[in-house]
Amino acid sequence: MSTETMTGHSEKAYALLKADADKILKLIEVQMDNLTMPQCPLYEEVLDTQMFGLSREIDFATRLKLVSEDAGKHLLAELERKLAELHDASLRK
């Protein structure tokens, strides 16, 4: 496979992972705004399940060498940071 093709696949893989991370953030935002508080077991279950699924996707893309390990870790860390900010904001309400 050419370098150009690999680069294209890598960019697409990262974009898909980023989109999934954004969906998780939106899901949690909606859940916190409309359904439950962060202390609720349902909130924790959804968050844990979604984060586990994303981490498995990232692991798969990393093993295929479509995404670097650092990029995958950064994506998860960034999502965790945003979720923590959202959680803190909800507690201040």
What pLDDT digit, counting tens, does each position of 57-69 carry?
999 999 999 999 9
Query: 26: part of which helix (H) or strand (E)?
Result: helix 3-34
Q: What does 35-92 look like in DSSP terms, one character per residue?
A: T--TTSHHHHHHHHHHHHHHHHHHHHHHHTTSS-HHHHHHHHHHHHHHHHHHHHHHHH
How many domains does the chain contain in total? 1
| CATH number for position 45 | 1.10.287.750
Going by C-beta distance under 8 Å and a sequence separation of 6 or more, which residues neighbour residue 90? 32, 37, 38
* Local structure of residue 24 (DSSP, 8 states): H
- Tens digit of each residue's pLDDT (9 = 90 or more) over 11-30: 999 999 999 999 999 988 88
Going by C-beta distance under 8 Å and a sequence separation of 6 or more, which residues neighbour residue 68? 62
pTM summary value? 0.82
Q: What residue numbers bound the domain in which 45 lies? A: 3-92
Contact 24, 79 (CB under 8 A): yes
